[in-house]
């Protein structure tokens, strides 16, 4: 029986977003593949290397590091345990025993922004990010480009960054500021902080857009859609590849074409969005997959993006 280890980012289980998605993939592997699994929580960043070492020394066949903040720890630990296989979500690590699972978050975020651009009534939208790092800038760049594509006259308010993944109150405070400035749609890419954005949308009678997991149910009718990042699928596929003898290392990319990112089913907002807009969203999605729309992944690329 394969023994799989998984180290959570500091947000941990219960974030209803990134870490919970990873855990769903592990749970599926337990049920469908018959693996043995051990998970470790991380209270702070200084725990990452210790947690990875502990699992490596416990006889795990494969160990997952969930999150870009574990890049340094993984780079230190993996080369010392070449008999163990590792996988890390959101960060490239160059080691002969590491698979890096990365996503084109900008593509899914473009669709989220497109929905926001179609649905805004005030003509103003906002974005709340967690740590102000290149990874989260991908979400922001794609979102702004999608919104502009749907509505070239749209005003995207200056983004808010919490500098934190876990403080729900801080997410709520930043979202309320944006709503107070006239935004009626706010997208978050802030981990557990983002739960505060959804709370604010519910209180203000505005829209939020969820991230990573389907968060639409958290405030039915107030979460316009969620940009789903299939961390669960990447975890499951990686374990299955090992079991089936297809393990390889290097970077594996999950994009819109491979269903690695995308939008929720919008089950609580479909009627409000309407069939005509849903058809437009599908058309834009098809254009991204076909390469007809090149989605900006950085703020520099966003600056030169032109609406087609």
Please state whether the predicted TM-score (pTM) of the whole model is above 0.75: yes
For domain 3-103+230-254, give the CATH superfamily: Response regulator (3.40.50.2300)
Looking at residues 193-209, what average pLDDT do you find?
Answer: 98
CA distance from start to end of the chain: 52
- 13-38 residue pLDDT tens: 888 899 999 999 999 999 999 999 99
In the chain, ranges of CATH 3.40.50.2300 domains = 3-103+230-254, 105-229+274-303
pLDDT band with cut points at 50, 70 and 90 for residue 12:
confident
- 236-250 residue pLDDT tens: 999 999 999 999 999
Residue 136, pLDDT score? 97
Q: Which residue has the tokens 């596929």?
A: 237
Residue 132, pLDDT score? 97
pLDDT band with cut points at 50, 70 and 90 for residue 216:
very high
Residue 11, pLDDT score? 78
pLDDT band with cut points at 50, 70 and 90 for residue 254:
very high
Residue 10, pLDDT score? 82
Q: What's the mean pLDDT when you consider all of the chain?
A: 97
- 105-140 residue pLDDT tens: 999 999 999 999 999 999 999 999 999 999 999 999
| Percent of all residues in the chain with a pLDDT value above 70, rounded to a whole number | 100
Is the pLDDT assigned to residue 49 strictly greater than 90? yes
- 293-303 residue pLDDT tens: 999 999 999 99
Is the pLDDT assigned to residue 199 strictly greater than 90? yes
Looking at residues 67-85, what average pLDDT do you find?
Answer: 97
Is the pLDDT assigned to residue 308 strictly greater than 80? no
Residue 307, pLDDT score? 86
For the chain, count helices (H), then strands (E): 11, 13
pLDDT band with cut points at 50, 70 and 90 for residue 284:
very high
Cβ density class 92-118: b for 16+ within 10 Å, e for less: ebebebbbbbbbbbbbbbbbbbbbbbb
Residue 283, pLDDT score? 98
The dihedrals phi and psi of 98, each to the nearest 5 degrees, come to -125, 135
Residue 14, pLDDT score? 86
- 157-183 residue pLDDT tens: 999 999 999 999 999 999 999 999 999
CATH architecture of 105-229+274-303: 3-Layer(aba) Sandwich (3.40)
DSSP string, 193-217: GHHHHHHHHHHHT-EEEEEES--GG
CA–chain centroid gap for 225, Å, is 13
Percent helix, strand, coil in the chain, to 5, is 45, 20, 35
Q: How many Å apart are CA 197 and CA 84, to the nearest integer?
A: 40
């Amino acid at each position: 029986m394969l023994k799989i280890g998984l180290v959570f980012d500091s947000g941990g289980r219960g974030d209803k977003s990134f870490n919970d998605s990873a855990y769903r993939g592990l749970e599926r592997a337990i049920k469908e593949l018959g693996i043995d699994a051990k998970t470790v929580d991380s209270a702070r960043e200084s725990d990452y290397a210790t947690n990875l070492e502990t699992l490596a020394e416990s006889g795990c066949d494969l160990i997952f590091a969930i999150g870009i903040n574990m890049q340094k720890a993984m780079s230190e630990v993996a080369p010392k345990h070449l008999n163990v296989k590792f996988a890390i979500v959101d960060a490239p690590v160059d080691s002969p025993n590491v698979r890096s699972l990365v996503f084109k978050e900008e593509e899914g975020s473009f669709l989220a922004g497109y929905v926001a651009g179609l649905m805004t009534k005030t003509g103003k939208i906002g974005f709340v990010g967690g740590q102000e790092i290149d990874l989260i800038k991908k979400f922001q760049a794609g979102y702004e480009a999608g919104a502009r594509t749907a509505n070239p006259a749209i005003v995207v308010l200056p983004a808010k960054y919490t500098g934190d993944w876990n403080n729900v109150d801080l997410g709520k405070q930043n979202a309320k500021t944006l709503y107070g400035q006239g935004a009626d749609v706010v997208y978050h890419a802030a981990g557990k902080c983002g739960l505060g954005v959804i709370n604010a949308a519910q209180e203000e009678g505005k829209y939020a857009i969820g991230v990573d997991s389907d968060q639409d149910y958290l405030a039915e009718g107030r979460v316009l859609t969620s940009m789903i990042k299939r961390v669960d699928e990447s975890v499951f596929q990686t374990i299955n590849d090992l079991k089936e003898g297809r393990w390889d290392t290097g970077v594996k990319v999950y994009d819109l074409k491979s269903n690695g990112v995308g939008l929720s089913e919008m089950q609580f907002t479909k009627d409000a969005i309407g069939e005509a807009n849903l058809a437009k969203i599908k058309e834009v999605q098809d254009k991204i997959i076909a390469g007809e729309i090149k989605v900006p992944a950085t703020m520099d690329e966003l600056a030169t993006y032109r609406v087609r």
